[in-house]
A and B are shown apart, each in its own frame.
Chain A
Amino acid sequence: MELSAENLREKLQRELEAEHVEVEDTTLNRCACSFRVLVVSSKFEGKPLLQRHRLVNACLAEELPHIHAFEQKTLTPEQWTRERQK
């Protein structure tokens, strides 16, 4: 298990069948290993925020105990399209 932005991105993409994933290493802004992620997946459709975030947490269950701060944004493909149009 390697805690790199790339590894996290690949894992999220694969397990959540994501259309789009962005992983930002925010360690420099925080005091220890930290990431901010954006995941766009149709798996989030019809799910409230908490459930979506839990899906992401479950996907990264192995990594999260080693991550100090974690921010996430979870969008459905439709929400993502709308956001990009703003």
Chain B
Amino acid sequence: MRASGRRTWQPRAEASPQVVNRGSGVEGSGEQAGMSGSLGRAAAALLRWGRGAGGGGLRGPGVWAARSSSGGCSAEQLDALVKKDKVVVFLKGTPEQPQCGFSNAVVQILRLHGVRDYAAYNVLDDPELRQGIKDYSNWPTIPQVFLNGEFVGGCDILLQMHQNGDLVEELKKLGIRSILLDEKKDQDSK
């Protein structure tokens, strides 16, 4: 384990073990400064939940080793990556420390729905990944969201799906129950 004592859910395929706060190139920094309190809480919550099951909960090293040894970012590798988990996002930064307002929005939306177990890849750590994923999905920007191996869109689309209820439905198809449904049930039953 690269970061000792950290049994947490960790973004996989990260080139460096520590999360580096890149000050420059931060988009929407105003939103981030304001949200630092809740991001701190979210991060703390993530640390508590972690990734349950055995093997220290870290499937990361296996994935990372496979990518670095081949030294590339081929369509086949990306294809395998996006199909490996039900929910896969490519971000600038990490869920604990998004480095861009749009990436942050994706993280927050997933958090709102109670989606904790998802794969997040930081494109800032890997220029090949950053370009490779754009070529793979034929989509010009980051963040990128994949559900069940299929490209869904970026931040704009995820936000609209969240607002119009489509995201709850899509998560349901993946066997993920959005906590927003539970909140609604609580409200209805009062």
Chain A residue nearest in CB terms to B29? A31
Digitize A47-62: 1 where CB-to-B-CB distance is under 8 Å, 0 elsewhere. Answer: 0011001100100000
Q: A30–B31 Cα gap in the complex (Å)?
A: 12
Interface residue ranges of B17-33 to A (CB < 8 Å): 24-28
Q: Is B151 within 8 A of A31, CB to CB?
A: no
Interface residue ranges of B147-169 to A (CB < 8 Å): 151-157, 160-161
Chain B residue nearest in CB terms to A26? B27
Q: Which of B24, B28, B140, B160 contacts A70 (CB 8 A)?
A: B140
Q: Is B27 within 8 A of A53, CB to CB?
A: no
Asked whether B102 is an interface residue with its Cβ less than 8 Å from the other chain, the reply is yes
Chain A residue nearest in CB terms to B157? A49
Contact A31-B153, Cβ < 8 Å, known A57-B139, A70-B141 = no
The total of interchain contacts (Cβ-Cβ below 8 angstroms) comes to 35
What distance in Å separates the Cβ of B35 from its nearest Cβ neighbour in chain A? 16
What distance in Å separates the Cβ of A77 from its nearest Cβ neighbour in chain B? 18
Q: Which of B24, B26, B157 contacts A53 (CB 8 A)?
A: B157
For the complex with contacts A49-B161, A50-B157, A67-B140, 20 further pairs of A-B residues with Cβ separation under 8 Å are: A30-B27, A30-B28, A31-B24, A31-B27, A49-B157, A49-B160, A50-B152, A50-B153, A53-B153, A53-B154, A53-B156, A53-B157, A57-B139, A57-B140, A64-B140, A69-B102, A69-B141, A70-B140, A70-B141, A71-B156
